[in-house]
Amino acid sequence: MTTIAFIGLGNMGGPMAANLSSAGFNVRAFDLSQDALDAAESHGCEVAASAVDAAKEADVIISMLPAGQQVRGLFVDGETPLFEVIKKGALVIDSSTIDADTARSVAAVGAEKGIGFIDAPVSGGVGGAQAGTLTFIVGGSVEQFEQARPLLEVMGKNIFHAGDHGAGQVAKACNNMLLAILMAGTCEALNMGVKNGLDPAVLSDIMKQSSGGNWALNVYNPYPGVMENAPASKGYQGGFLTDLMIKDLGLAMDISQQSAAAVPMGSAARALFTLHKAEGHGRLDFSSLMTFYQGKKGQ
Ligand code: NAD
């Protein structure tokens, strides 16, 4: 049976590991947080004492960490880099959203040691991770993509091969920059409508069926009370942190600088989310940008 090491059991990694365990895989899980380990154990994962302990006998290692620094630290630069203990011929699937340069350089170090490493960032949020309907955007060789596909299909519904190493991260940065722009625009329009006497639910229904329809309106409405399961209706808890969106917009700005691609809308979105963070909302879901437009401070 395929043994999977799963490292990083947060909002996204926790449910992804649980889905692999439910599908019958032997999942050896590790996180720095004891709460995350306890939750993974309750979902049928075997808890490992360390990342090394989880990874050393694994056929596939999946990482779901905050940023490039943690990914490089885990596989290449740490006290015991995992590339020193992972079996030759094993495959690392890094689903964290990180910069494409780190993804390419870590893959190159792995290749020197006979270990595969692909970037496979995801889209679809915590709901998609729980439901096993994520979109995976893979950068790596065709052979590595085909090797990973059966596992990705357990955790996701749409599996794309974007291109060679790093291409998954570039595509992900394009997508999240667009998401940030759409969320800011959706908050802006809803706020203007409500200030002019409209019911936010009625206005949302109208725009969903009109040319302004978009993902934020369809599944992630930022106005409290409009959509029962959206973070907006749960005090903007859980979901996708403002801090992580700002990180992703920083990755998009780096790509735009390296390629001289103009991103005025992305830059404006980054400025808005950064101002929102400066008011103390970095740890709230990114749809809390709604409160920035409403002028609510320091929640
Ligand atoms: P999170 O902060 O909830 O989880 C990250 C987990 O990694 C934490 O449990 C933390 O303890 C653990 N961790 C950090 N360093 C570690 C290490 N060295 N060893 C072991 N564990 C370590 O973040 P998340 O929301 O699960 O996001 C993870 C990644 O997925 C990020 O790159 C994010 O940008 C991306 N992402 C998130 C969403 C979302 O909706 N939350 C959607 C798509 C992509």
Q: What is the mean pLDDT of the chain?
A: 96
Whether 218 has a pLDDT exceeding 70, the answer reads yes
CATH code for the part of the protein at 170-294: 1.10.1040.10
Among protein residues, the one whose CA lies closest to atom 4 of ligand 1:
10
* Closest atom, ligand 1, to C-alpha of 123: 43
Average pLDDT of the segment spanning 8-23: 97
The answer to ipTM > 0.85 is yes
Ramachandran assignment for 280, one of left (phi > 0), alpha (psi -120 to 50 degrees), beta (any other): left
Distance from the alpha carbon of residue 222 to the mean position of ligand 1, in angstroms? 22
Average pLDDT of the segment spanning 115-134: 95
- pLDDT at residue 78, as a whole number: 86
Among protein residues, the one whose CA lies closest to atom 12 of ligand 1:
8
Distance from the alpha carbon of residue 12 to the mean position of ligand 1, in angstroms? 7
Substitution candidate for ligand 1 out of 37, 47, 65 with most atoms within 8 A of CB: 65
Three-state SS for 61?
strand
Distance from the alpha carbon of residue 96 to the mean position of ligand 1, in angstroms? 7
CB-defined site of ligand 1, < 6 Å: 7-13, 30-33, 36, 51, 64-66, 70, 74, 96-97, 122-123, 125-126, 239-240, 244
Catalytic machinery residues: 172
Distance from the alpha carbon of residue 242 to the mean position of ligand 1, in angstroms? 13
Average pLDDT of the segment spanning 50-55: 98
- pLDDT at residue 299, as a whole number: 45
Average pLDDT of the segment spanning 115-136: 96
Q: Token digits for 31?
A: 């996180």
Domain boundaries, the chain: 3-164, 170-294
High-pLDDT (> 70) share of the chain, %: 99
CATH code for the part of the protein at 3-164: 3.40.50.720
What Cα–Cα distance (Å) separates residue 25 from each residue in 65, 74, 145, 275?
A: 21, 23, 19, 44
- pLDDT at residue 1, as a whole number: 77
Among protein residues, the one whose CA lies closest to atom 1 of ligand 1:
10
pLDDT digits (tens, 9 = 90+) for 268-290: 999 999 999 999 999 999 999 99
Average pLDDT of the segment spanning 134-160: 98
Which amino acid is present at 243? D
Cβ atoms of 117 and 141 within 8 Å: the answer is no
Distance from the alpha carbon of residue 203 to the mean position of ligand 1, in angstroms? 34
Among protein residues, the one whose CA lies closest to atom 13 of ligand 1:
8
pLDDT band at 298 (very low <50, low <70, confident <90, very high): very low
Distance from the alpha carbon of residue 14 to the mean position of ligand 1, in angstroms? 9
- pLDDT at residue 238, as a whole number: 82
CA torsion sign for 153, 60, 108, 63 is positive
* Closest atom, ligand 1, to C-alpha of 13: 26
For residue 111, list its beta bridge partners. none
Average pLDDT of the segment spanning 55-80: 96
* Closest atom, ligand 1, to C-alpha of 33: 11
* Closest atom, ligand 1, to C-alpha of 125: 40
* Closest atom, ligand 1, to C-alpha of 65: 7
The residue with tokens 């299909």 is: 153
pLDDT band at 154 (very low <50, low <70, confident <90, very high): very high
CA distance 77 to 70: 9
- pLDDT at residue 297, as a whole number: 61
pTM of the model: 0.93
pLDDT band at 261 (very low <50, low <70, confident <90, very high): very high
Whether 267 has a pLDDT exceeding 70, the answer reads yes
